[in-house]
Amino acid sequence: MAALVAVVLTALALVVSAAPAQAAGQAWVEKAQKRLNVLHCQAGPADGEFGAWTRSAVIRFQSRHGLAQTGKLSAPVRKRLYDEKAQRCDQRPVPKGSGTGRRLVISQGQNWLWLVGPKGGVVAQGGIIDNPSVLKKGSYRTGSYCGRAARIKKNSTTSDAVWLDNFVRFAPCGVGFHRIPTYKSNGAQMHADWLLGTNMTESHGCIRLTRGLSLKVWSFTTRRTPVHVV
């Protein structure tokens, strides 16, 4: 009988000790989500659930700070996250060696785009989805290629299934900037804005942007504009 009581008490002790551990785990995720949102890394709702949205924010934080983009909240990443010197994810310096003057700069390592003014000031910036296997590092220029229009306000894919709004061509033959594709059938985006600025998916070769940033690129490229991919 005594042995049975001992077994029951041991089991109860394990249950009691396990419950706070689970709660603590959710709490540290929620804390990290709040910190990521303070740094404008777009972690989504601070609900303690480590899903794809939060993972995307961790990747943006890692790319901003030159860390391996694993999407994991490891101890070293958390230490950097809570450091008072941690930088905002949405404000990044233009990469060195990316040209001079008025231009567009794409960082494939950071999955990021800058619109740079004539004196070097940043006009706009934001996350992108690209495909490094299609678009190679180098210097390009917006304009017509392969006999195709330089700018198409309402472009369409060859399958005619989606819209590519605010399409600005800058490399042969069909590579350009555009809003995240939207389905013609229902108007929905192919994926959420929060995937931008990560390596969690890839395009067919173009540079996908938020609707807002695609409009800024459209306005910025009314004349042929250099594009540097680094």
Is residue 227 within 8 Å of residue 137, measured between CB atoms? Answer: no
pLDDT, tens digit (0-9, with 9 covering 90-100), for 148-203: 999 999 999 878 899 999 999 999 999 999 999 999 999 999 999 999 999 999 99
**Whether residues 162 and 210 fall in one domain:** yes
Domain hosting residue 115, numbered range: 103-229
Is 92 among the domain residues? no
107 and 194 belong to one structural domain: yes
126 in a domain, yes or no? yes
pLDDT tens, 9-36? 444 444 333 333 434 459 999 999 999 9
Give the pLDDT score at 25.
56
Q: Are residues 153 and 53 part of one domain?
A: no
Does 132 share its domain with 170? yes
To the nearest whole percent, how much of the chain has pLDDT over 90? 87
> Mapping DSSP to helix (H, G, I), strand (E, B) and coil, where does residue 155 land?
strand
Domain presence at residue 118? yes
Residues 77 and 117 in one domain: no
**Considering 26, 49, 81, which residue would you say is the last residue of a domain?**
81
Predicted TM-score (pTM) of this structure: 0.87
Q: How many domains does the chain have?
A: 2
